[in-house]
Amino acid sequence: MTVIPGAQRRAECLLPPTLITLAGLLGSVLGGPAVPSDGVDGVLVRLAIHRHQVGPLLHAALQRCEPAVADDLTCDLAASHCRSARRHASDFARLQRIGAMFAARGIAWMALKGTLQAGQLYGDPALRPSSDIDLLVAPGDFARAVTALAVEGYIPSNPPVPAGLLRAPILAAVRDVSLIAEDDHSCAVDLHRRLFLAAGARPQRLRLTPGQGPLPTPRLDADLACYLIMHGAQSYWVRLKWLADLVPLLARLDDVEKDAISVRARQAGAGHSVAASLLLLRQLFPFTQMGPLAPWLEAQQHRPAVHKRLERYAQMIGMDRDWKRSPLDNARVTMEAYFSLFESPWTRAGMVPVALLSSAVRRAAGAVWRNDRALTRGDAPPPG
C-alpha cells in the first residue's frame, strides 16, 4: 500500500470536489477513463468556461458522456468552442502575416503556446482557448521586432514604447512588451526576449528548439515540457487549462525525453517547483503517462520544499474566483510566485533589481503615455 505524506493529503483536501469532477470529465478527451456527467450543473460549466478556460474541452468530453446534459448548459459550452475557434482562426491569420513580416526583416522568432501549440497537442486547436499571442525573439532582435509590429498596426501598450531617446532604455529594462492590435483591441501580442524574469545562467539552461515550417513553434521535447511546467508554476497553476496541456504533451514524449525533464528542472534550479507541479498533475489527472518520472516523484514528494509548493498550487487552482488574488493580476503574489519558482538564493537575489527596474519603467511609461496605456483591457473582472 502506498503511504501518502501528510502534506500531500492536505493538498488533496484543498482541491474542491467541483474541480475534481471537472478534471475527471476532461480526462475522457485526454486519454483517461470515461466519467458519468451526473455532476454537471451551471456552477461547473461556469467554472470551466470562465475560471479555468476549458469550456471547449468540456464540451468535447460531454459529447462522450451519459446521461445527457441540459440543453442550456450544452449551448453555453458549444458557444465557448465557437468563440475559441474564431479566435484561433484570427490568431493563425495574424501569425502568418507576422511571420512573413519577420522573415522579410531577418528576425528569428517562434510562437510560444497559443494556437500553434494547441494544434500540436489537441489536433483541433479550438479545444484549447488562448487569450494572447506569445512570441519569442532573440534579445538582439527585440527592439526591431517591436518596431516591426508597431508598423504592422500593433500598439505597444504595456509598457508604452514611444519613438525617441527613451525608446532604447525602456526596451532594455523590460523582458516583454504587450502590443494591442489596432484593429481589434481584444487581441494582444506578448513579445518576449527571454523565457523568465530571472536573467541568470540557470534559467537560461532551457533551450527551446523550433520545429520545421513557416510558422516556427517549439519542438515537443523535454525543454518545452520543462518550460511549460515552470511557466505554470510561475503562475501558481491558477488555470486548469495549463495543467491539462501537460497530459497530451507527456503522452507524446518517449521515456528518454520524460527522464530528461527532471534533469532540465534541476539544471534550471527549479526541481522542487517542477516536482510539485507534476504531483498536482497526478492528483487531478492520475492516468497521465509519467513513465520514468514516477520514481523521481516518489522521492521528491517527501521533501518539505515540494510539499509547500504543492499546497500553494492546490490552494490557488482550487479558488472559486481568482480575480486580484493570483499572480495574473496581483503584484505581490506575482513576485512571491516568481521567487518560489527557483531554489537558488542567487537566482532569487538577481531577480530583485531586474523586477524593481522593470516595474518602475512600466509604471513611469504608463503614467506619461496614457493614450497607449489606455488600450489595455482594463481592470474589470472576467465574467463569471
* Residue, of 144 and 163, whose pLDDT is higher: 144
Please report whether residue 383 resides in a domain. Answer: no
By residue range, what is the domain housing residue 41?
6-369
Q: In what order do the strands lie in the sheet with 154-158?
A: 109-112, 132-137, 184-192, 176-181, 154-158
For residues 173-199, average pLDDT: 94
Mean of all residue pLDDT scores within the chain = 91
CA distances from residue 350 to 169, 229, 237, 346 in whole angstroms, order as listed: 19, 22, 24, 6
Please report whether residue 384 resides in a domain. Answer: no
Asked if the model's pLDDT at residue 4 lies above 80, the reply is: no
Please report whether residue 70 resides in a domain. Answer: yes
Please report whether residue 243 resides in a domain. Answer: yes
For residues 85-95, average pLDDT: 96
Do the beta carbons of residue 20 and residue 284 sit within 8 Å?
yes
For residues 30-52, average pLDDT: 92
Residue-level pLDDT at 64: 80
Confidence at 13, pLDDT banded by 50, 70, 90: low
Residue-level pLDDT at 11: 64
If one counts every other C-beta atom within 10 angstroms of the C-beta of residue 286, the result is 13
Confidence at 34, pLDDT banded by 50, 70, 90: confident
| Of 12-21, 115-124, 262-271, the least confident | 12-21
- All three cell numbers of 3: 503511504
Please report whether residue 345 resides in a domain. Answer: yes
Number of domains forming the structure of the chain: 1
Please report whether residue 135 resides in a domain. Answer: yes
Please report whether residue 379 resides in a domain. Answer: no
If one counts every other C-beta atom within 10 angstroms of the C-beta of residue 250, the result is 23
Please report whether residue 377 resides in a domain. Answer: no
3-state secondary structure of 57: helix
Confidence at 10, pLDDT banded by 50, 70, 90: low
pTM: 0.92
